[in-house]
Structure 1
Amino acid sequence: MNNELFVGSNVQLTKKNEDNSHTRGTSPQNITVILPAFNEEVSIGSIALLTRYYADNVIVVDDGSSDRTAEIARKAGANVIVHEVNKGKGAALKTGFEAATSLGADVIVTMDSDGQHNPAEIPKLVAPIIDGYAEMVNGSRYLNRADKNTPIYRRVGQTILDTATNMNSGLKITDSQSGFRAFAASTKNVFRFNAQGMAIESEMLADAGRSGLRIKEVEIGVRYDVDCSTENPIQHGLGVLVMVLKDIEFNKPLYYFTVPGLALGVGGLYMGAHFLQTFAMGGGLPFGPTMLMVLFIVIGSFMALTGILLHTVAGIAKKTRMA
């Protein structure tokens, strides 16, 4: 048995396009929405039905669900792809992007399947791409500090993840964990889709930033009363942060090694200057703090040099790939 099953037909797709043309307007762009889903039988039917009003195709990637997600999505008129085992959101999006390309998509939209996002905002999200202003659009809850309903613990964690993601990607994104995004279909090969869990959102921004994609943010709304996530938010946040830090380690070693190393080294030198001043005035040198000073200077120097070396190696490897 194949690991992936595709359900749908060209006849159904053609009829769907005709039914939706009056709602979407006269844009010649083919808009395809990807809904990665894992055990979302409660919400997937209504989300798929609503989304069809604003898209040519709706693809539901059932990522190893044990409930009726695939069956309900199919009855709602979506094109369903089934992973027989749970592979994670990154793999589900990769499958969805490949399917969307095969369906002739010009613009690909990703949405969460639990009802947090409003399909009626799809036209606003895809407009910058259709108008030629962007290749990727990020739906942001915080673009104008509009979302005052975000629980405080989420906002604190979000700020940490935004800072780390922006440092890694070189971007200035206000909502790095948004799953409501639009992409020009031509960007498909830019993304690695390696992240297993929700860290895929940060990974895609890092890939987009390094590839120089034109990125725009638009304001979106979100509902928290329908959040069906079973993952602990603290565990989720730490997992994303670890992934981002690992990415920085390999792609931006100056941030990961050199900057902290310089901070340690400078701290050690400051301690040394203070100890010398004390010694010159007739005081003694305390053994513990003196050894800590030496440790700071040695480790800081090693980290700073390691970062510079790795940065040089990464630059040579990048030039080699481009040659």
Structure 2
Amino acid sequence: MPRTWVVIPMFNEGSVVASVIEEVRKTFPHVVCVDDGSRDDSAARAEAAGAVVVRHPVNLGQGASLQTGFSYALRDPQATEVVTFDADGQHQVADAVGMVELLREGGYDIVIGSRFLDGRTKVGALKRLVLKTAAWWTRITTGMALTDAHNGLRAIDRRLLERIRIRQNRMAHASELVDQIGELDAKWTEYPTHIVYTDYSKSKGQSLLNSVNILVDLLFK
């Protein structure tokens, strides 16, 4: 039977991560959280909610956390795909379900979420400009006409996952991942996702400043 693993990078998310995991596990029971050197009780709360927790002794960044989660999921011989999912509550499980279904039914190697394919996600003008610029730069450098190159919600088939190796630890990892998808000539598509921005998620890295940091990492990775 197909088995999906959900990989959730986690850094000081103790106030929200349990509810995120509980919601995810209603549909996807196999969840691995990578605790990236948290200084709070994130790991304990994630374990109590039913996730497997793999710990980094120090904070290495989201790229490193994803690679650790990928490596863990690939240890399961029954794993058929991985979903990457943020710990701050901004992603919707229903979108992840639709992406996994599309991945399997369409024979894709990867399905990438996009907040710009429908009108559900409300993005400020400046943030939209920065993210669109990042997507434009990705199109120039990889030939992939993505509308949203830095969406953290993805569904990745095992066969592609086995060939991916993320070396950029921080925000440039998203661009590095797209680069590898292009180099490997993977079959990809996008899926409309609803990103819910809350005061909490903004404080955890969804601010305009973080979008600017994405561009800086992209240009100087």
Shorter-normalised TM range: over 0.9
Judge conservation of contact 1:29–1:130 (CA < 8 Å) in 2: no
Q: Measure how far apart 1:223 and its partner are.
A: 0.6
Query: Among 76, 86, 102, which residue is 1:128 paired with?
Result: 102
Identity %: 31
Give the secondary structure class of the aligned counterpart of 1:190.
coil
C-alpha deviations, 1:74-107, integer Å up to 9, x for none? 0000011111100111110111001111123101
Please name the residue that 1:211 is paired with.
184
Unaligned runs of at least 5 residues, structure 1: 1-27, 248-323
Higher-helix-fraction structure: 1
Q: Measure how far apart 1:121 and its partner are.
A: 2.1
Instruction: Tell me, in whole angstroms, the C-alpha distance in 2 between the residues paired with 1:197 and 1:133.
Output: 30
Query: Among 69, 72, 96, which residue is 2:42 paired with?
Result: 69
TM-score (norm 2): 0.92
Query: Among 67, 73, 90, which residue is 2:63 paired with?
Result: 90
Shifted more, 230-239 versus 146-155: the winner is: 230-239
Instruction: Tell me, in whole angstroms, the C-alpha distance in 1 between the residues paired with 2:14 and 2:171.
Output: 20
Q: Measure how far apart 1:170 and its partner are.
A: 1.2
Query: Among 110, 120, 145, which residue is 2:84 paired with?
Result: 110
In our comparison, the structure showing a higher alpha carbon Rg is 1
Give the secondary structure class of the aligned counterpart of 1:70.
helix
TM-score (norm 1): 0.64
C-alpha deviations, 1:220-239, integer Å up to 9, x for none? 11111141444584543343
Aligned pairs for 1:145-160 within 5 A: 146-147=119-120, 149-160=122-133
Instruction: Tell me, in whole angstroms, the C-alpha distance in 1 between the residues paired with 2:122 and 2:35.
Output: 30
**1:48–1:222: structure 2 CA closer, same or farther, 3 Å change rule?**
same
Please name the residue that 1:201 is paired with.
174
Please name the residue that 2:20 is paired with.
47
C-alpha deviations, 1:37-60, integer Å up to 9, x for none? 100011100111111122140011
C-alpha deviations, 1:192-213, integer Å up to 9, x for none? 3122212211211111011110
Please name the residue that 1:244 is paired with.
218
Instruction: Tell me, in whole angstroms, the C-alpha distance in 1 between the residues paired with 2:44 and 2:217.
Output: 34
Give the secondary structure class of the aligned counterpart of 1:107.
strand
Instruction: Tell me, in whole angstroms, the C-alpha distance in 1 between the residues paired with 2:167 and 2:216.
Output: 14
Q: Give the root-mean-square deviation of aligned CA atoms.
A: 1.8
Give the secondary structure class of the aligned counterpart of 2:189.
strand
Give the secondary structure class of the aligned counterpart of 2:35.
strand
Judge conservation of contact 1:91–1:194 (CA < 8 Å) in 2: yes
Judge conservation of contact 1:54–1:120 (CA < 8 Å) in 2: no
**1:108–1:65: structure 2 CA closer, same or farther, 3 Å change rule?**
same
- Which one has more relative contact order, counting CA pairs under 8 Å at least 6 apart? 2
Instruction: Tell me, in whole angstroms, the C-alpha distance in 2 between the residues paired with 1:227 and 1:243.
Output: 21
Q: Measure how far apart 1:244 and its partner are.
A: 2.8
